[in-house]
Chains A and B, each alone.
Chain A
Amino acid sequence: MTQGITRVLYIDLSSLTFEIKDRADLSPYMGGTGLGCQLLAEESHLSQDPLAPEQPIIFSRGTLSPYFPAATQVAAVFRSPLTGHLAESFAGGSLAAAMSLARLNALVIKGRADRPVRITVGPRIVHIKKADPIYGTGTEECLRELYDLDPSPGLRSIMVIGQAGEKTVRFADLVLDRYWRFGGSGAGALFGSKNLKSLMVYGDRSLPIPDVNAAVYREVFENIHNRLVHSELMPLLHELGTVINLEKMQSMMALPSRNGREPQFNALPSFTAQSLAEKHLVRQLACTGCPVGCVHVGYYRRMYGSESFEFEESHLPYDYTTVYALGSQLGLETPGDFWALWEKVSGYGLDPLAAGAALGWLTEAFMQGLVNEQDTGTAIGFGYTEGYLHALDGLVGGETPLYRDLARGATFAALRWGGVDYVTEINHRATTGLHTGYDSLLSLAMGFKQPEFVHPLPPCTNQEPERVVNNLIAREAANCLLDSMGVCRLVNQVYDYKTVSRALKSLGYKLSPRQLKISSYELYNIKQGINRAFGLDPARTNIPYRFFNIPTAQGLLEQNRLAEMLDILAKQTWAADKEGIIPG
């Protein structure tokens, strides 16, 4: 690690060239989100469509990766083709470690190749190779091909798109190392628009620990490791995973079903964390450098035909959001239906949340007669898996005008075909199924992430709008810092300002907890400055009426109250007074 120097690899697919820059001017932005946002601000073209060839996608690793446990997340930063706003998407796998061992802080990809290509990046090479034969493959098959096509020394990480990304479906994901994904904002569509099928990064460089820091580093590492493995969340995250939230959310009235038409997920007894673990869980996996192991892989087998005893098997990761988005949201009855749908969504490389929102809207539009069987090619209904599987084929294949609109997201389709009142998206972002109250809607509006584990909240009448907003901004600012450090959101309570300060000190950075707190608000402001340039205005956010009919942990929400909070949020965020909003 060279102190103060940020190494950025720029790849231009239009000219098939690359350049490495060692920059000293980027250190104030740290890594992860902060660094990614700064590079995006430098490279992004405001006047161009998000899928224009010039638009960049940036991968930026956190400052603490891979030096500390659970600092495993790489930020993908770009202008979202789904929302038009800033997209920051995080994934773990082996990518952060591979980037470190390739001595890269960030990677910027722009331009468009004139034919399908794939990129391999190592410490000594950047190869842009033709990918015609693997174009058209699903994510799982493509990864299998690539593991053998490009054997590499050292630690390796591969991300691919499926057919959805190739067809620039605006909510296509990037699938990373089989069980992780850069999800939710259309990173896969960006790859597709560049004719880029895959990106492999491997690293085998040696990174010696400087003697001067060794003792402090080991002590800080030990401290964080012990706090992590002895955390009360560890057994939950490892043994059963985030699906344990399903029952908790249901009991808090925060798990809506059937596109928000019903307040409870009726089939939950078949989908409890316990039941999924007993019947489907085959293994837990961890990101490289994290002792938690929160990725849960389930087993699904499908019989060919109806009477033979021949099976095809799939191993698929599952978590709270996938079960919510493709199970509860669509009213599926059995885990078998869920696996079948998730296998299709995952294979195409679609985002499960956005796909669930799209299919949820489609179901109601079909029920209300806004769209018919000519538009869909099939009957559509809650719990009717066959119809959904057919609809996904139609959507990725762009078979009808309806599907071509739906490939731009549920909100886009609803604006064309009607039914905007029951779209379960805000600012084109699909709900994550954690309906805790005002904070969850405000988070969606702004693109903030919600905490995976939610504690019971007081009823909404007890909360002053300003307080809700200020708490939300404080949480998001702290997250901005951790996102720049590369720390996984699931364990962020272990990384308080003091711990981050000590960890940075052991790596040679001198930043006090107070300075880090100020930095976190600065990072928040940088991020929201980009969002503002991209046209996001919280005060002018349209919230579909359905959200005021969906019960939340705080009861039913009031439109006026939410509008008031959005106004406050706009004023607080756009105030551009960096110090002004820093409490304490």
Chain B
Amino acid sequence: MGKCIACYSCSFACAREVMKSFSPQYAAIRIKTRGGLQSKLTADICRACKNPPCAEACPYEALVPRVGGGVKLISDKCTGCENCIPACPVGYIIMNPVQEKIVMCIHCGICSKYCPHDVLRLEEVDDICWTQDSCEQ
């Protein structure tokens, strides 16, 4: 993130291509500054946990763990109960107040395509390396 120039191209790309909206604040990747631009930048992005706590916290099975890490949001099942929000260890999950559903990354990598500064990269993960046990095998 040290190379980020705060152009928000990633957020706009996600908003445009995935969320069908011009609004970067409800994109699944959000760039933030703390204390103004003098401080360093941070990205709120799904860290693709191997055992995602958000999925464990969802009472409606709207968040399904994905092979390789992270979760898949089954939008029809999301009731907007917000149980997953405090469960996320990095505070990534937010609500989209218009849709009344959470915003979740689909790990498509469109944000990395529009990053002009090579801050973001989409990595293929080894499907076999899904749990600690299987890695050890």
Q: Mark A280-297, 1 if CB is under 8 A from B, else 0.
A: 000111111111110000
The residue that B12 contacts in the complex, of A148, A211, A238, A289, with Cβ under 8 A, is A289
B116 touches A229 (CB 8 A): yes
B6 touches A101 (CB 8 A): no
Q: Does residue A303 face the partner (Cβ distance < 8 Å to B)?
A: no
B20 touches A291 (CB 8 A): no
CA distance A441 to B30 in the complex (A): 45
CA distance A311 to B116 in the complex (A): 35
Q: Does residue B132 face the partner (Cβ distance < 8 Å to A)?
A: no
B25 touches A154 (CB 8 A): yes
B6 touches A214 (CB 8 A): no
Given contacts A177-B37, A218-B17, A315-B38, contact A206 B23 (CB under 8 A): yes
The residue that A291 contacts in the complex, of B7, B16, B21, B35, with Cβ under 8 A, is B7
Given contacts A206-B98, A290-B7, A292-B116, contact A178 B37 (CB under 8 A): yes
List chain A residues, Cβ under 8 A from B20: 208-209, 211, 214
B36 touches A293 (CB 8 A): no
Within 8 A of A (CB), among B19-35: 20-26, 35
List chain A residues, Cβ under 8 A from B35: 144, 147-148
Q: Which residue of B lies closest to A72 (CB)?
A: B7
Q: Which residue of A lies closest to B94 (CB)?
A: A153
B36 touches A286 (CB 8 A): no
Q: Secondary structure of the B side of the interface?
A: loop
A153, A238, A285 — which one has the most chain B CB atoms within 10 A of its CB? A285
B7 touches A206 (CB 8 A): no
Given contacts A155-B25, A288-B6, contact A293 B37 (CB under 8 A): no
List chain B residues, Cβ under 8 A from A144: 35-36
List chain B residues, Cβ under 8 A from A347: none
Q: Mark B41-66, 1 if CB is under 8 A from A, else 0.
A: 00000000000000000000000000
Within 8 A of B (CB), among A324-347: none
Q: Which residue of B lies closest to A211 (CB)?
A: B20
Q: How far is the CB of A179 from chain B (nearest CB, A)?
A: 6
The residue that A221 contacts in the complex, of B7, B16, B37, with Cβ under 8 A, is B16
List chain A residues, Cβ under 8 A from B96: 206
Q: How far is the CB of B103 from chain A (nearest CB, A)?
A: 11
CA distance A229 to B98 in the complex (A): 33
List chain B residues, Cβ under 8 A from A207: 21-23
CA distance A101 to B17 in the complex (A): 18
CA distance A256 to B20 in the complex (A): 51
B8 touches A178 (CB 8 A): no
B36 touches A147 (CB 8 A): yes
List chain A residues, Cβ under 8 A from B6: 285-286, 288
B25 touches A289 (CB 8 A): no
Q: How far is the CB of A363 from chain B (nearest CB, A)?
A: 33
List chain A residues, Cβ under 8 A from B114: 225, 291
Q: How far is the CB of A294 from chain B (nearest CB, A)?
A: 9
Q: How far is the CB of A142 from chain B (nearest CB, A)?
A: 11
Q: How far is the CB of A122 from chain B (nearest CB, A)?
A: 12
CA distance A221 to B13 in the complex (A): 10
Q: How far is the CB of A178 from chain B (nearest CB, A)?
A: 5
Interface size on B, residues (CB 8 A): 25
Given contacts A291-B9, A293-B5, contact A178 B21 (CB under 8 A): no
List chain B residues, Cβ under 8 A from A69: 9
List chain B residues, Cβ under 8 A from A290: 7, 9
Q: Which residue of B lies closest to A221 (CB)?
A: B16
Within 8 A of B (CB), among A225-267: 225, 229, 238
Given contacts A155-B25, A206-B26, A206-B97, contact A179 B37 (CB under 8 A): yes
Within 8 A of A (CB), among B51-107: 96-98
CA distance A53 to B36 in the complex (A): 31
List chain B residues, Cβ under 8 A from A288: 6-8, 24
Q: How far is the CB of B6 from chain A (nearest CB, A)?
A: 5
List chain A residues, Cβ under 8 A from B17: 218
Q: Mark A25-63, 1 if CB is under 8 A from B, else 0.
A: 000000000000000000000000000000000000000
Q: How far is the CB of A255 from chain B (nearest CB, A)?
A: 28
CA distance A100 to B25 in the complex (A): 12
CA distance A315 to B39 in the complex (A): 10
Q: How far is the CB of A569 from chain B (nearest CB, A)?
A: 38
CA distance A264 to B16 in the complex (A): 49
B21, B22, B26, B35 — which one has the most chain A CB atoms within 10 A of its CB? B22
List chain A residues, Cβ under 8 A from B21: 206-209
A155, A177, A214, A221 — which one has the most chain B CB atoms within 10 A of its CB? A155
List chain A residues, Cβ under 8 A from B16: 209, 217-218, 221
List chain B residues, Cβ under 8 A from A173: none
CA distance A287 to B6 in the complex (A): 7
B24 touches A286 (CB 8 A): no
CA distance A97 to B30 in the complex (A): 14
A67 touches B22 (CB 8 A): yes
The residue that A289 contacts in the complex, of B8, B26, B36, B37, with Cβ under 8 A, is B8
Q: A206-B21, A207-B23 are in contact. List 4 more A-B contacts (CB 8 A).
A: A97-B24, A206-B23, A289-B8, A289-B9
Residues of A that sit less than 8 Å from B by CB? 1, 66-67, 69, 97, 100-101, 143-144, 147-148, 153-155, 177-179, 204-209, 211, 214, 217-218, 221, 225, 229, 238, 283-293, 315
The 10 nearest A-B residue pairs measured at CB: A286-B7, A293-B5, A291-B116, A207-B22, A206-B98, A286-B5, A288-B8, A206-B23, A154-B25, A147-B36
Instruction: Provide 10 A-B residue pairs closer than 8 Å at the C-beta atoms, listed in order of the A residue.
Output: A97-B8, A144-B35, A144-B36, A204-B23, A206-B26, A206-B97, A206-B98, A208-B20, A288-B8, A289-B9
